[in-house]
Amino acid sequence: MLRIRVGLVLSSTVFLLVALSGFAAAQDSRAAVIGAEQAEKARTLAPYVPNAAERIMVTLQREVLQDPSGMYPLFASVYSGGGFTLGGGYRRFYGDRTHADVKGLYSIKSYKQVELSTDSWGHANGRLDLHARAGWRDATQVAFHGLSMAAPEDETNFRMKQAYVGGDVTAHPTPWTVAGLGLSFEDFNLESGTGASPSIETAHTPATAPGLGDNPAYLHLAAAGGIDTRASPGYARSGALYGLTYHNYTDRNDTYSFDRLDAEIVQHIPILRENWVVSLHGLVQTTLNDDDTVPYFLLPSLGGGSTLRGFSGWRFRDRTSLLMSGEFRWIPSRLALDMALFYDTGKVTPRLHDLSFKGLASDFGIGIRFHGPLATPLRIDLARSREGMHLVFSGGAAF
Amino acid sequence: MIRTSAPSALYALCVLGAVALLTATPAGNGRKFYDDDPLAREPETENAAGVKPWDIDLFYDLAENLFAHPGDPAPAGRARNVNTIDEVPDSNWFTNRVLARPLSIDELSRGPLTGSGPAPGTWSVVRPKQAGAAPGFTMRDATGELWFVSFDANGFPEAATGAILVANKIFWGLGYWQLENFLVTIRVDQLAIADSAKVRPPSGTERPMKMKDIQDVLKRAHRGADGTYRAIAARAVPGTPLGGFRYYGTRPDDPNDVVPHEHRRELRALKVFGAWTNLTDMKAGNTLDALVTADGRGTVRHYLQDVGSTFGTGANAPHEYDDGFEFLYDGGLTMKRLVTFGFFLQPWQTAAYADVPAIGRFESTVFDPLTWKPRVPTAAFLRARDDDSFWAARRVMAFSDEMIRAAVKTGQYSDPQAAQHLGDMLIARRNKIGRAYLNAINPVVNVTLDETGTLAFENAAVSAGVAAAPGGGYVIQWARYDNNTGATTPIGASTAAATLATPAPAALPSERGAYVKVEIRAVQPPNPSWGAPVTAYFKRTGGWTLVGLERMP
């Protein structure tokens, strides 16, 4: 046993000496030193294995961008005032740029929506987009304060269920011009609100809430045209929108038919290479015929995250509205972060010629926006008005 | 007792013997210089034929470099692929050209081109362009050779193609492996669709390519008044494409890739070359590795594949105003701008740009090579030391005005003002780079010791005209150097030299194989960094051979 062990150690030692001598000899040149290092690596070669973060990022891109068919999460709104909303959808392409979607949304206020849609993009050499959709939504507690700027701060609420089916076409005759035409059938069913405030019928009559108690169904025609030089409606630091939209709501019973015209201006004025941006927004919505009766839930309104941010949603309603907003934006990070000081002002009136710059409701505030090149996934605005502070969380640009 | 202790004792004895044998060997690790120093070519001893293609995800690459700061966390030391005289040996990464040897105008103007462009006739489109923002596609020419075609973006004639052509020559001259880029004019009627051509439309489902797919590409490209398209045709590189390389770490399946990329000097030097040319889009996706096989052995060649996002233009539009001045995201700047309502202004916000659409936003007045930044922090850039930047700056300064104008001429700009402006900016930026980096460190270069015992050297900053000769001259200290132990024995006291040539002490060793060490300091009070010595090592061969040079520890 002793002989065997001693022999084993001696032979191992001889091998070691030979090997080490060989190693020493092999490193008798700089090239050999480097060669030895490469030989050592050659013994431990391994294929590249992406780490967990890279694998997740690659998977997300593949599922969302490269193979967009299938299930997807949805962050959207059922109806203004619904609160935080989540949902999901399923998409199936049946053409290069044509897909069908089925999706559903649910909010913390039990607002809900289901929709089946199809969208087809880029026809006529990229100038025409076609859309069609059918769906149903339920807004359980939409606020109603009454008509005019004198409406009280105390609110009532109503429940609005809407079934709809329709389609539209959007055209870009040139890169800077946009036109749209849409036709849809919209069937409204109004019920008592489920919110904490009193339901609308307990405080209002058809005299103060036109159409209260009725459930009109409309053929809704919309035609729009304008100039849009913004990089994207979702996020822009320069460019402008000058647009007009005409709405014709034809009531099935012709009781509540009306026409409305929306005129909108957005102008982004970059300063010092977009270090600052002055962004201006003007919007007038007016019912065209003073004799028409517009139901309370389709009246132009102000208040909420995209209009008068210092007031609650749907705070002011009437047949005509005027909104003017200005933002002084600065850009801490061109990649992802904007800040803004803003001022909103506006009013509602029964008739267009009643509009003036007197009696405006105003607010001001500060906002932070996390954005990408073309979209604003998260906007947080803190606004103050005579009715207190309001915090806005939104998944879109202010304008 | 014996059974347990004898083997252990013998084992220990033998190991000790082996250690003694190794340390007694002159070729042991204590040796500073080997007989083959300095290496002129980086050895690649192993067969890399087993290396596999990989995809470095664009968004992950961007996010990782912006937020994770990858690479060696240790403080940046000396570049690890330099040879003992502080130079970068030729390799599959780099080939010494400008500065290392005379580079003629003709040679520079031709750059990496080895043949002619795509063979005339019908060109068959194989697939749309898969990487990068520029409109383009892959095609085979009439002889079946594969080419990658990219166009000027619609509305920006000559911008992207001109930048590619000019940068291609400059980066080739600097020493990088470059694609062979040819300027071509394409007519729609010369294009056909290859039978195998496939596209992946927005639906994500691959299908055979149609002529409309080509039209969709061309819609994004700039169409000339005569209905043709100016484009770049890049010849497919020899070998098997493997994907890009990262600016940190090594490729795990390439046995010869043993120096972490952030420690490769030619990659660190891109900080300076990038600043010169405003090559802001430094990402793995703009690089390409290829497996090349010769004599049955495979090695991986590393290309700077896309150097087109240079000067003042990107693939689709002029550079953003802050390109070259800021990373895409910088937490400190973001916070400062946030709390100051944007009043923490940066130089790019007031830089004046000439109205030269083909060149884009490229200027030299506000440009500061020391603060220039690519879009994304690049691991190799972040570890560049003064000696790396000095090495790079010498190569930039080696481009004469004539060479720069010649490289610009290859851009074939139809507007003479564009070529003039680009040349002017490159010359002005070159000079700024020289002033910034040649003065930042002791600029003694080209140290020689001839048979007569005359030490000669140059001052790179003075030669480049970016500094005056040191008022205090040079201080030189000689020593014998023991290559095995590292011990130095001074030869006399330090001496002063007013000129760039001075006699060595008479007591220099005469035996063959002896080493001497020379420390050279420049005495220039306004420039204290020149006082740190450049250390040169000479070996007695027939005469004296420079075997070592250290500019920084």
Q: How many domains does chain A have?
A: 1
Amino acid at B549: L
Residue matched to tokens 């709501």: A249
- pLDDT tens track for B56-113: 999 999 999 999 999 999 989 999 999 999 999 999 999 999 999 999 999 999 999 9
Contacts of B219 in chain A (CB under 8 A): 125-126
CA-based nearest distance A42→chain B, Å: 5
Beta carbons of B22 and A20 less than 8 Å apart: yes
Asked if residue A12 is part of any domain, the answer here is no
Contacts of A2 in chain B (CB under 8 A): 2-3, 6
From chain A, pick out residues whose CB is under 8 angstroms from the CB of B22. Answer: 20-21, 24
Question: CA quadruple B208, B214, B220, B221: dihedral positive or negative?
Answer: positive
| Residue A140 clears pLDDT 90, i.e. is over it | yes
Of B2, B6, B252, the CB nearest to A45: B252
CB B466 within 8 A of CB B529: no
Q: What is the pLDDT of residues B212-250, one digit of tens each?
A: 999 999 999 999 999 999 999 999 999 999 999 999 999
CB atoms within 10 A of CB A209: 23
Q: Which residues of B touch A335 (CB under 8 A)?
A: 328-329
Within B451-516, residue ranges assigned H as helices are 460-463
Chain B residue numbers touching A275 (CB-CB < 8 A): 342, 345, 349
Query: Which two tokens mark B501?
Result: 């040539």
Q: What is the pLDDT of residues B445-484, one digit of tens each?
A: 999 999 999 999 999 999 999 999 999 999 999 999 999 9
Residues for chain A: how many in total?
A: 399
Residue A43 lies in a domain: no
pLDDT-wise least confident of A18-32, A122-136, A159-173, B388-402: A18-32
Residue A256 has pLDDT above 50, yes or no: yes
Minimal CA separation from B33 to chain A, in Å: 8
Q: What is the pLDDT of residue A13?
A: 46
pLDDT score of B134: 83
DSSP state for residue B237 in the 8-state scheme: P
Is the residue at A45 inside a domain? no
A295: Cα separation from own chain's centroid: 27
The 8-class DSSP code of residue B90 comes to B
Look at residue A360 and tell me whether its pLDDT is greater than 60.
yes
Q: Residue B410 pLDDT more than 50?
A: yes
pLDDT of A83 above 90: yes
Question: Is there a contact between B17 and A24 if contact means CB atoms under 8 Å apart?
Answer: no
Chain B CB contacts of A125 under 8 Å are 219
CA distance B303 to B301: 7
Q: Do B349 and A16 touch (CB under 8 A)?
A: no
Contacts of B43 in chain A (CB under 8 A): 31, 34-35, 38
Q: Is the dihedral of CA B399, B404, B405, B407 positive or negative?
A: positive
Classify residue A258: in a domain, yes or no. Answer: yes
Residues in B closer than 8 angstroms to A42, CB to CB, are 46, 255
Q: Which of B1, B5, B11, B333 to mutate to test the interface with A (most CBs of A within 10 A)?
A: B11
Residue-number span of the structural domain to which A388 is assigned: 60-394
List, in order, residues 6 or more apart from B81 with CB less than 8 Å away.
Answer: B42, B88, B89, B91, B93, B259, B263, B264, B265, B266
Cis peptide before B374 (omega within 30 of 0): no
Statement: residue B507 has pLDDT above 90: no
Chain B residues with CB under 8 Å of A31 CB are 36, 39, 43, 45
Which helix or strand (DSSP H or E) is residue B406 part of?
A: helix B401-409
Which has the higher per-residue pLDDT, B17 or B279?
B279
Interface contact flag, B45 A35, Cβ < 8 Å:
yes
Q: Which of A31, A38, A61 faces B46 most closely, judged by CB atoms?
A: A38
Task: Give the closest-approach CA distance of B22 to chain A in angstroms.
Answer: 7
Q: Locate tokens 């849409």: which residue?
A: A182
Give me the pLDDT at residue B283, please.
93
Segment A153-179 mean pLDDT: 97
Taking contacts as CB-CB distances below 8 angstroms, the residues of chain B near A41 are 46, 255-258
Look at A24 and B27 and tell me if their CB atoms are within 8 Å.
yes
* Contact criterion met (CB < 8 Å) for B6 and A5: yes
Q: How confident is the model at residue B29 (pLDDT cuts 50, 70, 90)?
A: low
Q: What is the DSSP letter of B8?
A: H
Q: What average pLDDT does chain A have?
A: 92
Q: How many CB atoms lie within 10 A of CB B370?
A: 11
pLDDT at B7: 38
pLDDT of residue B367 exceeding 90, the answer is yes
**Average pLDDT of the segment spanning B507-530:** 93
Residue to substitute from A1, A23, A34, interface B, most B β-carbons within 10 A: A34
**Two tokens, residue A339:** 């800040």
Is residue A42 scored above 50 in pLDDT?
yes
Q: What is the CATH number of the domain that holds A159?
A: 2.40.160.50
Tell me the whole-structure pTM to 2 decimals. Answer: 0.89
Taking 70 as the threshold, does the pLDDT of residue A20 lie above it?
A: no
pLDDT tens-digit readout, A241-252: 999 999 999 999
Report yes or no on A36 lying in a domain. no
User: What gap in Å lies between CA B483 and CA A287, rounded to an integer?
Assistant: 96
* Distance between A227 CA and the closest CA of chain B, angstroms: 20
Q: Could you tell me the pLDDT band of residue A151, with boundaries at 50, 70 and 90?
A: very high
3-state SS track over A44-86:
CCCCCCCCHHHHHHHHHHHHHHHCCCEEEEECCCCCCCCCCEE
DSSP state of A208: T
Enter the tokens of residue B48.
Answer: 């890399």
Integer Cα distance of B311 and B291 in angstroms: 31
pLDDT at residue B353 is higher than 50 = yes
Say whether A121 and B202 touch across the interface (CB within 8 A).
yes
- Which amino acid makes up residue B510? S
Task: Please state which of the ranges A23-27, A279-283, B304-308, B377-381 shows the lowest mean pLDDT.
Answer: A23-27
Whole-angstrom distance, CA of residue A143 vs CA of residue A195: 9
CB contact (8 A) between residue B57 and residue A61: yes
Q: Kindly state the average pLDDT of the residues B122-139.
A: 89
Query: First-to-last CA distance in chain B?
Result: 54
Q: What is the DSSP string of B37-98?
A: PSPSB----S--TT-------HHHHHHIIIII--S--SPP-S-TT--TTS-PPB-SSB---T
Question: What are the φ/ψ torsions at residue A59 (nearest 5 degrees)?
Answer: -65, -45
Nearest to A61 among B59, B320, B341 (CB): B59
Specify the amino acid at residue B366.
V
**Chain B residue with minimum CA distance to A34:** B43
Please report the beta strands in A67-150, taking only residues with DSSP state E, as ranges in sequence order.
Answer: 70-74, 85-95, 98-107, 112-122, 128-144
Helix (H, G, I), strand (E, B) or coil at B311: coil
Q: How many helices (H) and strands (E) does chain B have?
A: 13, 20
Name the nearest CA neighbour of B396 among B309, B534, B287, B269.
Answer: B269
Q: What is the pLDDT of residue A65?
A: 73
Give the integer Cα–Cα distance in Å for B280 and A277: 26
Q: Which of A41, A330, A334 sits opposite B322 (nearest CB)?
A: A334
Among A1, A2, A9, A337, the strongest candidate for a mutation testing the B interface, having the largest count of B CBs within 10 A, is: A9
State how far residue B399 is from chain A, nearest Cα, in angstroms. Answer: 32
Distance in angstroms (rounded) separating the CA atoms of residues B405 and A313:
64
B161-185, pLDDT tens digit by residue?
Answer: 999 999 999 999 999 999 999 999 9
User: Where do we find the tokens 């149903």?
Assistant: A136
Residues from chain B that touch A29, judged by Cβ atoms under 8 A, are: 34-36
Round to whole Å and give the CA distance between A31 and B31: 14
**Shortest CA gap A131–chain B (Å):** 16
A60: pLDDT strictly greater than 50: yes
Show the tokens assigned to A8.
């084993």
Is the pLDDT assigned to residue B27 strictly greater than 80? no
* Assigned domain for A51 exists: no
pLDDT at B30: 75
Among candidates B42, B172, B170, B167, which has minimal Cα distance to B114? B172
**Tokens 């193979």 sit on residue:** A67
- Find out whether B291 and B300 touch, Cβ atoms under 8 Å: yes
Confidence of residue A68 (pLDDT cuts 50, 70, 90): confident
Asked if residue A86 belongs to a domain, the reply is yes
Residue A160 lies in a domain: yes
Q: Which residue of A has its CA nearest to B48?
A: A42
Kindly report the nearest CA distance between residue A339 and chain B, in angstroms.
7
Contact: A273, B348; criterion CB under 8 Å: yes
Q: Which two tokens stand for residue B213?
A: 């797919």
Residue A16 predicted with pLDDT over 90: no
Size of interface A-B (CB pairs under 8 A): 185
Closest CA of chain A from B256, distance in Å: 5
Nearest to B252 among A13, A17, A46 (CB): A46
Where do we find the tokens 């060109």? B123
Calpha distance B434→B275 (Å, rounded): 12
Confidence band, pLDDT 50/70/90 cuts, at residue B421? very high
Q: Hey, are the CB atoms on A39 and B45 less than 8 Å from each other?
A: yes
Chain B residue with minimum CA distance to A8: B7
Q: What percent of chain B has pLDDT over 70?
A: 95
pLDDT for the residue numbered B130: 74
A31 with B36: Cβ contact below 8 A = yes
Residue B458 burial class via C-beta count within 10 angstroms: exposed 0-12, middle 13-18, buried 19 and up: middle
Nearest Cβ partner for A57 among B59, B83, B345: B59
